[in-house]
Structure 1
Amino acid sequence: MMSWVRFVFASTIFALVTLFALPLQYLFVKAGWNLQTKFPLRFHRIAAKLLGLRIHMHGDMATERPLLLAANHASWSDIVVLGSLKEISFIAKAEVADWPLFGMFAKLQRSVFVEREKRGKTHDQASEIATRLAAGDVMVLFAEGTTSDGNRVLPFKTSLFGAAQVAIRETSVETVTVQPVAIAYTRVHGVPMGRFHRPLISWPGDVPLGPSLIGLLKDGAIDVDVWFGEPMTIDSKTNRKTLARLMEERVRAMMLSSLLGRDLVTPAGESQESVIPVDSAILKDAKKL
């Protein structure tokens, strides 16, 4: 009963906030005001509270620009989690633009929509991302290309990492900073989140958005770790496939730090003295999660 009371309260507040926020953000985007990047941060912070997300940040976002963030992706709620921490924009799959309400949210946050399956469009899409990077926008790339079950990191797709090099070739920037970001959902109502509770937050592609949203609004109280890893500065000679593999390894190691409860890595901005190497035995543990 209490879960439904929470759902009614949270969904009502969310609807009211949305009715207020959407017209304002539309105005900010059309006018080109700086508020177009600042206002979504406030909106996502309210949304995170209503969803019951308790976010714990490890390390910090790099200050260098241009900056591309390479993150894992477990749920639609990743947008709220990251959007509540920093002023960022997202690289989203093209079909998101047509989703009811959430598509409008994505457009008003100035997301770049890409069609990953159409290789012929890869360069044009990379050019659009590169232009935004060169303009100083921090772009988030969910490099797996889809959502996982939240227990593991899927192989990173390499194609859109090329946007960082396109920014170097086609604009005035000489280098681009790429930073790994790991998102790990760890607890529900203070209890470690195992496989039984994982469906509460994970959102694989064949699960409808509506039930997932309703479930989170009803239950809430989810702890999530966000790790900002050591950034890497790349230039025109950097191999994008090597870059993608390195980012994948760093994201996987940070995620395991939360899921296994071990200090496997030290996030960006903190002392490196306590870093523990991530060896093959630890990576094998990940496959058992």
Structure 2
Amino acid sequence: MSVWQPTAPCSIGACVRGGSTALASPRAVLRITALVALLLVGVVLLPVGRRLPAAWVRLYCRVMVRAAGVRMRLSGSAPQSGGVLLVANHISWMDIPLLAAVRPARMLAKKEIRQWPVAGALVAGSGAIFIDRDRLRALPGTVTQLAAALRAGGAVGVFPEGSTWCGRAQGTFRRAAFQAALDAGAPVQPVRLRYLLPDGTVSTAPAFVGDDTLAAGVWRVASTRRIVVEVEVGALIPADSHPDRRSLARAAQLTGERAAGHP
């Protein structure tokens, strides 16, 4: 692991709980089967995917999240045209379709996602920009790619914490991706994700942290009842409203926290 690569203190043993309302295995298997079927449909549609209406892509992503047994509550909206940098806190493997449900975007993703079964092909085919987190020297080139996508009028989705957290705690937004917004003159839009149980407490079942595997993470979500994810879209932050990437990153994090009701 690179010395500069962001990491979170969250771990499976210390943080993640599947909850006491586990479903019987057959229903969890049905959910996973439906999820895999939707992923395969997405892979089949990749050749024409970028020509599909954005509304269809957003609906597809919402159906995918629902197939996993998670209900989505969306508040706020993103502009559906023009360059925008969508930034969100990072908890789960489900965060990617959740951001796409706000607005289809090219994701900044770690290169390891390419190797995920089925989902990796879907993420790669959607135009994701992959980053090698072990090579600091590759970062300026990645920022250049992000800025080019924003200048072309596209949406780019980024998880600036650089690592997943359990949902009870969170990391600090790293600055690099915000330089792309400054270079392209594109606004930043914070999105706050919260996975909750029926009583309103945070659910850590969706968290994908530490040495967790994708298979274990998917099973944990599919076998836990009544998870709700709140997706709260904050106000646009014009790039020229901040002098540098540090202050822009800080403003985006504070806006996301206020959207979630934190002081």
Q: What TM-score comes out, normalization by structure 1 length?
A: 0.76
Q: 1:44 aligns with which of 53, 58, 61?
A: 61
In the alignment, is residue 102 of structure 1 matched against residue 119 of structure 2? yes
**What residue in structure 2 maps to residue 19 of structure 1?**
40
CA shift for structure 1 position 90: 1.2
**What residue in structure 2 maps to residue 192 of structure 1?**
200
Measured against aligned partners, the alpha-carbon deviations of 1:102-140 in whole angstroms (never above 9, x if no partner) come to 211211221111124422122211111111111221111
Hey, what's the Cα distance between the residues in 2 that align with 1:56 and 1:223?
7
Give 3-state SS (helix, strand or coil) of 1:192's partner.
Answer: coil
**What residue in structure 2 maps to residue 138 of structure 1?**
155
Measured against aligned partners, the alpha-carbon deviations of 1:154-173 in whole angstroms (never above 9, x if no partner) come to 11111121111332xxxxxx
**What residue in structure 2 maps to residue 182 of structure 1?**
192
Structure number with bigger Rg: 1
User: CA distance change for structure 1 residues 199 and 227 in 2, over 3 Å: closer, same or farther?
Assistant: closer
Bigger relative contact order, structure 1 or 2, given CA contacts below 8 A and separation 6+?
2
Percent of aligned pairs sharing the same letter: 25
Give 3-state SS (helix, strand or coil) of 1:235's partner.
Answer: helix
Are 1:122 and 1:160, in contact at CA under 8 Å, matched by a contact in 2? no
AA paired with 1:213?
Answer: V
Hey, what's the Cα distance between the residues in 2 that align with 1:39 and 1:58?
19
**What residue in structure 2 maps to residue 6 of structure 1?**
27
Are 1:146 and 1:205, in contact at CA under 8 Å, matched by a contact in 2? no
Q: 1:148 aligns with which of 165, 170, 175?
A: 165
User: How many matched pairs?
Assistant: 242
Hey, what's the Cα distance between the residues in 1 that align with 2:89 and 2:257?
8
Are 1:176 and 1:234, in contact at CA under 8 Å, matched by a contact in 2? yes
Hey, what's the Cα distance between the residues in 1 that align with 2:230 and 2:241?
33
User: CA distance change for structure 1 residues 122 and 236 in 2, over 3 Å: closer, same or farther?
Assistant: farther
CA shift for structure 1 position 39: 5.3
Give 3-state SS (helix, strand or coil) of 2:223's partner.
Answer: helix
Measured against aligned partners, the alpha-carbon deviations of 1:32-69 in whole angstroms (never above 9, x if no partner) come to x5228565434322211211221111221145622001
Alignment of 1:202-281 (within 5 A): 202-235=207-240, 238-255=243-260, 257=261, 278=263
Measured against aligned partners, the alpha-carbon deviations of 1:6-56 in whole angstroms (never above 9, x if no partner) come to 12222222333333331221x215xxx522856543432221121122111
In structure 1, the gaps of 5 or more residues are 168-174, 258-263, 265-277, 279-289
In structure 2, the gaps of 5 or more residues are 1-21
User: CA distance change for structure 1 residues 236 and 193 in 2, over 3 Å: closer, same or farther?
Assistant: closer
Give 3-state SS (helix, strand or coil) of 1:90's partner.
Answer: strand
Alpha-carbon RMSD across the aligned residues, in angstroms, is: 2.3
User: CA distance change for structure 1 residues 116 and 218 in 2, over 3 Å: closer, same or farther?
Assistant: same
Q: What TM-score comes out, normalization by structure 2 length?
A: 0.83
Q: 1:157 aligns with which of 155, 174, 181?
A: 174
